Structure 1
Amino acid sequence: MAVAAEQTVLWSHDVLGLHAVADSAGAVRLGASGQDWDRLAPLVEVTVTGHGRTWSGERFIDTTVGGRLAHQGHRTVVDGDLRTTTIRLADPVTGLAAEIALRTSPGAGFLRSQVRLVNEGSAPLRLESVSSLALGGLVDTGGSPAGGPTLHWADNDWLAECRWRQAAFRDQVVSLNRSAHGHEGRGAFERSSQGSWSTGRHLPLAALTDPAGRAWLWQIESSAGWRYETGEREGAAYVALFGPDDAHHQWHETLTPGQEFTTVPAVLVGATGGLDAAFGELTSYRRRTRRPHPDHTALPVIYNDYMNTLMGDPTTDRLMPLIAAAASAGAEVFVVDAGWYDDDAQGWWDAVGAWEASSSRFPGGIQEVLDAIARHGMTPGLWLEPEVVGVRSPLARTLPPEAFFRRGGVRVTEHGRHHLDLRHPAARAHLDQVVDRIVGDWGVGYLKLDYNVNIGAGTENGTESAGAGLLGHHRAHLDWLGSLLDRYPGLVLENCASGGLRMDHAQLAVTQVQSTSDQQDPARYPPIAAAAATAVTPEQAAVWAYPQPHFTPDEIAFTLTGALQGRVHLSGFLDRMSPEQSALVRSAVSAYKTLRPEIPAGLPFWPLGLPAWEDTWLASGLRGPATAATWLTVWRRAPAPGAARTPDDSTRTLPIPHLRGTHVRPRVLYPTASDATATWNPADSRLTVSLPRPGTAVLLNLTGDH
């Protein structure tokens, strides 16, 4: 359907098929090109106290101010390969002005959006929610589940990250008979964060797919509160993406005349090849928008002493043999995890904060250990949890009260810790001194930055809301991380929050490595490892590989194989292994070093679909810019207790459509002694893989030519 004569196109995106149009009164809406005006969404939705919404319900669209915002002008700026169009709107009643920056690159399938609000009126305005991106007319919703779109979203939890689910759109957003009322529904499908673990419940991304294979995938970039909703608007799906809001995050922001507020960024990608193609676009976008760092291509093998090994109880005597064994296995970074500072008879959990090395654990000083790591050709690394101070730490008394999170005038305490507010100069100066000592004086080149408490809604500094305080801290935290890399350009920062509980792109655009989980059961890790590339680029996704001396060869290969398409977080008592076991570990590291030059440009795909938590067969792959470069990890797990058993479950056939027309020669890269087999059928582009035993996995290289 063409744009009506009284409407003007202000902006368009040919690849995504989107446009922003203004009507004769100046109202601006955004959505799929060719759709009716009523299906499109107001360009900015903003809830202002005293103005609210025009149609009350659970939705955060149909806001009164959003409906009044009128076009004031627009401009486009080109910076390298990025093209940003900024559309300016204003509300004639309140004087609120909005500038929405729509950023993309010619030929790319992404749209990044951010909104800046300015109070140009004469009275204060209290904001309760602001959309970062809202658009409509994406997919016809259809009258039945079979003919309509499918929703895809990811639940997230400690030890159970990246659990993707799907349902028919109509199972979540029911079809209503509007003939009597003439109104849209009041509800929508929504997901949101809670507290300071941005991914403690769900990932801040989701997707819609239609039966024709079109996929829309979105991501919100915030560690300080986010919410998305999708629902029906005039027979088509709309999507609205938000940072923190009052209802879910205790966020509100009062703008006095002249004051401004900028939302967190959000991005939408679209593709015609289903979810795999959409995640490929999102992966490329993430690479484009993060801070450049040499680690993104070097991808050194990381040994960490924690998981299933020292578990926060390191000493010089325990570390020295592990250092030698890790170096022998091919590790290039050695991280001393939690406990290196523990000299407290009552335990370290609620006494942390000073980050001084323990003299009892390291009688010769921690430098002796760090020097040993360097002598073995590895970069020394240390664990740090910078944002917290234990309630028994002297710093809890010496730092000013304003340097900590407070609510209702009371310092916040959670699980024996207080939380620093990095907007305060004393908090930041303290952490700068810690890092300058550890990195500048001790020569540490890798910091694992953990975050093990959910501090709740945030902090109230004066009259600000708790959610606004959390957002302020979040932005100060990102700035602090960037300042560390400015001072120490070679330093590698790992983002960890009890595994993957703060696994958002705001963090990952600054840090280099992401811990994907704290999962200690090798049989439970495969669905997390297989789906990790949905949340983070493969070259940043650290997966634990913790082989143990009591493991069988199958078990050693199984835990190692799952890490080989991302970042290897090697662990385990390698020093106690037999020569045969050590050779199996070295072989995995060697296979990884063969693969890793392909990882920084590789795009993820899932031949069996995104994994479910109890799936017995899982598969995830990487394909290079040239389709001939394809790598595939396949797992076969034992069935879950009580699951139906089939007579023979040793074979699976995997469709790999991007290799259609290619003569492929499957090759087992790891484990080299595997009895797995793989055969390729070029006629229907399907790979048949046989894993004779449950509890086994294999890394395949699919090479070929057209």
Structure 2
Amino acid sequence: MRELAAYDLGDMTAHYWVDDSDQVGLVLRPTSLQPVTARSGIGDEPYIASQPGAGNPPARPVDPLVHVSLRGDAATGGWGQGRTMRWSPSTSRFRLAEHVVEHVGGVPRILTAMRTVEGLRLEHTLIHRAGENHLGVEVEFVNDSPEPVTVDALTSFNFSGISPFDSADSPERLVVHRLRSSWSAEAQPVSDTIESLQLERSWLGIARLSERFGQVGTMPARGWFPFLAVEDKVARVTWGAHLAWAGSWQMEVARLGDDVAISGGLADREFGHWSHTAMPGERLAAPTAILSCTQGTVDDVADRLVAAQNEAADAQPESERSLPIVFNEWCTSWGNPDRERLIAIADRLSGEGVEYLVIDAGWFRGTSPDVSWALAHGDWIPSPDLFPHGLKEVADRIRDRGMTPGLWFEFETVGEDSTAFTLTDHLLQRDGAPFTVGNRRFWDLTDPFAVDYLTTRVVDRLEHDGFGYLKVDYNEHLGLGTDHADGLGEGLRRQVLAGYRFLDGIRDRLPQLVIENCASGGHRLEPSMIGRTAMSSFSDAHEVPEIPLIAGNLLSVMLPRQMQIWSVLHPSDSDQRLVYSLAATFIGRMCLSGDVVGLDETQWDIVRRAIALYQRASPIIRNGRSRRGGVHGPSLRHPTGWQSVTRYVDDGRGLLVVLHTFSKGPGSVQIPLDGSWRIEESLSCGSTSLLVEEGELRIDGLRDFEGVVVRLKPARTGKGESLSMPNRD
């Protein structure tokens, strides 16, 4: 094994290794840390030396940049069947053909091409922009042979050598970090040791070991998030990866020798029923991946991966620069919006700092005015009972009151009470019949008829009626997929790509339209959908006590400036409950809902103060870095303890602290601060008192389920500053 090349990319170094059979692998490390010399073989282990003919098996065989499995080749050995399609003999057919550094638009792209004798080609491109601490990866399979070739597995990324800071097999020092997810309980962190996952190297180094996980369907953040990190606790280095794909995906923590590898990409034939027949001359692109490593924790590497989303966020409409506040009437009408109520809401919000007012589900009706909105969507005909003068009249009234009107669509699916439900020639099929999930079917977005229909019913309405905000919802998914000659998984892949094209087409036609990504809350919170939209619903957790915890968890996978968090307000709320709910929105984007018309003036004054503070804090939310603190119990539904989110603005001129206590919370907390700060303003309730002294913010007088927001600026003196909040009860 020899080093092919090494590149310093920001504060990371990428090492390319090649073995005697021209297989190429990738190892990443922080540039500031030098790797140790690894042993070349494991033959010195006594239980191997005693085996006749065992020799000296390699300790760290090169793990290829790209793993691929081609139909007709032998399957993975070493007891890998059903567990992994990595290490397929197909992969070993590809040999190094080219390794060059290209520059496209001033951005270096490290291209490594592998080729078979038949003319099949794998192209792996590693991308790094100056000033960034993450890497992009693009992988393509190219069929330059004269015959069709069926691909059953293709990785988007793979790197190995974990950990380069141990000379052998790193016992009791490697931890795998992942994010579990379910409806209204997104992104819960899970950490497992390599040993607990049974990924210790087999004694002879011949067992193909893999922890394969992922998601099957078109809700990519349901079950798991496409996020993976491995931490070396001794070297204090963490490696991480994030996939950008809105369909079925998988990731693997894999092991053959002393070192650990991580990989990911499309869910393969075993895991996601996916195959693709590439015709001569065809190129097949795998989903993009983002990689990073750092001398730090899983939170540090997550920050780096999330930073990759800034480029797409910066390309959103200019109106998004100031992080405008949203009011969505879903938790006001619960699927029954009407003209009078919306105008009353607009009157209440006029001049109060809310800039987007969104009409959510139910503005349409099917064959009966009493039918549920979830059965009626698909025809997109406004209800004359709810909107006797049409939607445009209400949208105009919202604009007259200084706000941008928004409208909800779930345009990829149709409800059983719609006429569209019967247009089966243009809907997705499975096993030769319309694919129905519950009461929904799905448009075939590769069908020009479906695209034209949706363009007329969705895009034309947005433009004609003057809506400047589109909420895109998605409340069911495709599971294994839909009919295609190559299998259900390929049908799904093509639908995902067609969905991208439709969204991109909306942006091209209406460039100033603000688009919100929602999928039963947070089920499509991955980079490709987040990047195509201005903001995303963080969850369907509308008014439950765990909202701050969910929002805190999601900091690992998305930018706060794109994370829309609900605060549902009721006249029956105590001041304490109002502040608790409003405070959670400072972890991301403020989204108000509920009966704001019914709030009394004292309650509305709390909301008004929260809005004003949010507007002044928005530069910190937009451009900063977050750290979580606190101690809370294992239950999300019944939270105990407390949580803090401390966010420092990038230029060092601002700091925001968001605190929540839960059941059995402390009466006082101390939150460490980097540097010297003074309190500028705050939002809290009761007899809470605040003090900044000796590098920490102290908050006293706390009760269970208390919310506190504090905005700070650099201190002019070293003396402590305090602020006491009067009891409003």
TM-score by length of 2: 0.88
Could you tell me how far apart the structure 2 residues matched to 1:478 and 1:248 are?
23
Aligned pairs (5 A) from 1:365-384: 365-384=390-409
The aligned residue for residue 616 of structure 1 is 641
Q: Deviation of residue 185 (structure 1)?
A: 3.7
The question of whether the paired residues in 1 share the 8 Å contact of 2:633 and 2:641 is answered with no
The question of whether the paired residues in 2 share the 8 Å contact of 1:145 and 1:169 is answered with no
* C-alpha spacing 1:468/1:12, structure 2 compared with 1 (3 Å): farther
State the AA in 1 paired with 2:503. Answer: L
Q: Deviation of residue 529 (structure 1)?
A: 1.7
Note if 1:694 corresponds to 2:704: yes
* C-alpha spacing 1:691/1:466, structure 2 compared with 1 (3 Å): farther
The aligned residue for residue 50 of structure 1 is 72
Q: Deviation of residue 80 (structure 1)?
A: 4.1
Aligned pairs (5 A) from 1:345-424: 345=368, 346-397=371-422, 399=423, 401=425, 403-424=426-447
Q: Deviation of residue 287 (structure 1)?
A: 0.7
Aligned pairs (5 A) from 1:518-529: 518-529=540-551
The aligned residue for residue 547 of structure 1 is 569
The aligned residue for residue 297 of structure 2 is 274
* Structure 1 stretch displaced more, 253-262 or 416-425: 253-262
Could you tell me how far apart the structure 2 residues matched to 1:99 and 1:43 are?
10
Which of 666, 688, 691 is the matching residue for 1:649?
666
Note if 1:117 corresponds to 2:159: no
SS in 2 for 1:692: coil
Could you tell me how far apart the structure 1 residues matched to 2:312 and 2:62 are?
28
- Structure 1 residues 504-541: Cα deviation after superposition (integer angstroms, max 9, x where no partner): 11111111110011113331211112222222211110
Which of 109, 123, 127 is the matching residue for 1:84?
109
SS in 2 for 1:695: coil
CA RMSD of aligned residues (A): 2.4
State the AA in 1 paired with 2:177. Answer: H
Could you tell me how far apart the structure 2 residues matched to 1:368 and 1:419 are?
31
Q: Deviation of residue 368 (structure 1)?
A: 2.6
Which of 49, 56, 61 is the matching residue for 2:86?
61
Could you tell me how far apart the structure 2 residues matched to 1:535 and 1:611 are?
22
Aligned pairs (5 A) from 1:328-339: 328-339=351-362
Q: Deviation of residue 261 (structure 1)?
A: 1.0
Q: Deviation of residue 428 (structure 1)?
A: 0.8
Instruction: In structure 2, list runs of 5 or more residues that go unmatched.
Output: 30-34, 41-59, 717-729
Could you tell me how far apart the structure 1 residues matched to 2:157 and 2:361 are?
40
Note if 1:192 corresponds to 2:209: no
Q: How many residues are matched?
A: 679
The aligned residue for residue 576 of structure 1 is 598
State the AA in 2 paired with 1:292. Answer: A
SS in 1 for 2:645: strand
The question of whether the paired residues in 1 share the 8 Å contact of 2:424 and 2:434 is answered with no
* C-alpha spacing 1:193/1:616, structure 2 compared with 1 (3 Å): same
SS in 2 for 1:564: helix
The aligned residue for residue 270 of structure 2 is 247
- Structure 1 residues 451-480: Cα deviation after superposition (integer angstroms, max 9, x where no partner): 00122222223x132111111111111121
Which of 420, 435, 458 is the matching residue for 1:435?
458
The aligned residue for residue 652 of structure 2 is 627
- Calculate percent identity across the aligned residue pairs: 23
The aligned residue for residue 4 of structure 2 is 8
The question of whether the paired residues in 1 share the 8 Å contact of 2:361 and 2:373 is answered with no
Q: Deviation of residue 353 (structure 1)?
A: 1.0
Aligned pairs (5 A) from 1:113-152: 113-139=137-163, 147-152=172-177
Q: Deviation of residue 675 (structure 1)?
A: 3.1
Aligned pairs (5 A) from 1:298-337: 298-307=322-331, 309-337=332-360
The aligned residue for residue 714 of structure 2 is 704
Aligned pairs (5 A) from 1:474-553: 474-553=496-575
* C-alpha spacing 1:23/1:290, structure 2 compared with 1 (3 Å): farther
Could you tell me how far apart the structure 1 residues matched to 2:389 and 2:112 are?
62
Q: Deviation of residue 302 (structure 1)?
A: 0.5
TM-score by length of 1: 0.91
State the AA in 2 paired with 1:353. Answer: G
State the AA in 1 paired with 2:521. Answer: G
Q: Deviation of residue 150 (structure 1)?
A: 1.9
Could you tell me how far apart the structure 1 residues matched to 2:320 and 2:565 are?
16
Instruction: In structure 1, list runs of 5 or more residues that go unmatched.
Output: 640-647
SS in 1 for 2:12: coil
* C-alpha spacing 1:559/1:438, structure 2 compared with 1 (3 Å): same
SS in 2 for 1:607: strand
* C-alpha spacing 1:291/1:692, structure 2 compared with 1 (3 Å): closer
* Structure 1 stretch displaced more, 35-44 or 412-421: 35-44
Could you tell me how far apart the structure 2 residues matched to 1:667 and 1:291 are?
28
The aligned residue for residue 586 of structure 2 is 564
- Structure 1 residues 55-82: Cα deviation after superposition (integer angstroms, max 9, x where no partner): 3412332221222311111332323453
Could you tell me how far apart the structure 2 residues matched to 1:184 and 1:676 are?
61
* Structure 1 stretch displaced more, 149-158 or 255-264: 255-264
The aligned residue for residue 127 of structure 2 is 103
* C-alpha spacing 1:566/1:74, structure 2 compared with 1 (3 Å): same
Which of 676, 687, 696 is the matching residue for 1:675?
687
Note if 1:452 corresponds to 2:475: yes
The question of whether the paired residues in 2 share the 8 Å contact of 1:184 and 1:232 is answered with no
* Structure 1 stretch displaced more, 327-336 or 501-510: 327-336
Note if 1:664 corresponds to 2:688: no
The question of whether the paired residues in 2 share the 8 Å contact of 1:439 and 1:445 is answered with yes
Could you tell me how far apart the structure 2 residues matched to 1:83 and 1:295 are?
32
Could you tell me how far apart the structure 2 residues matched to 1:610 and 1:430 are?
49
Note if 1:237 corresponds to 2:260: yes
State the AA in 2 paired with 1:198. Answer: P
